[in-house]
């Protein structure tokens, strides 16, 4: 059997943590770690052996429903507070907002920020809107923010919102 491998963690699942279970659905391998975090090395191992695992689980295990999307990186996240700082100079960064309006309407207002998230691959932070400016200031370097080489996606809203909050504090 061939197909795409899906490796997901289900941290919000209220069931007591137990041994990981695996199954296939629609040609995908699904590994459920319950409430536990999956070590990065294990995830890499699963990815490396996905074809074999699909063959093993493909016919004997009933399909399961996947209901969460937390990637199995095992990076611990907590709310950012002043004084916290991510060590690495390369950061992953993303924003979650209210629903985006009509992007083709130049008069539409940008969506309001709900929470930002950042990680350096070792630790991660949830960042409240009111803390975002302070978070950015805590992660600039003596050179400039751009040489910190932080990342985001969705240039249409994320950085715009970030810059807007950075300057106006709103």
Partner 1 sequence: MVCTMTLERLLSLATTGTAQVFNSLDALAQKYLGITVAKDVVDSAGDPVRTSFGKYIGRPPADIEQVALDYAAGDTDVVLEIWRAPAAGSRAAQKRCQRCLRIPGRGCRLPTPGKPTAR
**Interface positions with partner 1 (CB under 8 A):** 4-8, 11-12, 28, 47, 50, 66-71, 73, 75, 77, 79, 90-94, 96-99, 111-112, 114-115, 117-121, 124, 126, 128, 133, 136-137, 140, 144-147, 149-155, 158-159, 162-163, 166-167
We find the least distance from the C-beta atom of residue 130 to partner 1, in angstroms, to be: 9
User: Which residue is it, tokens 């100079």?
Assistant: 89
* Nearer Cβ to partner 1 (5/23): 5
How far CA 162 is from CA of 25, 32, 110, 113, 123, in Å, comes to 39, 34, 11, 9, 21
User: Which residue is it, tokens 């350096």?
Assistant: 120
* Nearer Cβ to partner 1 (7/53): 7
Integer-rounded Cα radius of gyration of the chain: 20
We find the least distance from the C-beta atom of residue 51 to partner 1, in angstroms, to be: 11
We find the least distance from the C-beta atom of residue 118 to partner 1, in angstroms, to be: 7
Nearest to 53 by CA among 15, 26, 74, 27: 27
* Nearer Cβ to partner 1 (50/53): 50
* Nearer Cβ to partner 1 (56/74): 74
How large is the greatest C-alpha to C-alpha distance in the chain, in angstroms?
58
SS3 5: strand
């Amino acid at each position: 059997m061939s197909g795409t491998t899906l490796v997901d963690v289900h941290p919000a699942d209220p069931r007591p943590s137990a041994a990981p279970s695996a199954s296939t659905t629609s040609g995908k391998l699904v590994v459920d770690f319950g409430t536990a975090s999956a070590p990065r090395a294990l995830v890499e191992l699963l990815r490396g052996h996905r074809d074999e695992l699909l063959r093993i689980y493909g016919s004997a295990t009933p399909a399961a429903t996947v209901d969460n999307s937390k990637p199995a990186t095992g990076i611990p996240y907590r709310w950012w507070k002043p004084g916290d700082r991510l060590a690495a100079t390369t950061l992953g960064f993303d924003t979650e907002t209210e629903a985006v309006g009509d992007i083709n309407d130049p008069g539409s207002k940008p969506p309001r920020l709900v929470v930002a998230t950042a990680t350096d691959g070792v630790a991660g932070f949830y960042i409240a809107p009111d803390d975002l400016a302070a978070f950015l200031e805590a992660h600039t370097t003596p050179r400039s923010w751009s040489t910190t080489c932080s990342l985001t996606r969705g240039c249409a809203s994320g950085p715009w919102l970030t810059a807007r909050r950075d300057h106006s504090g709103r």
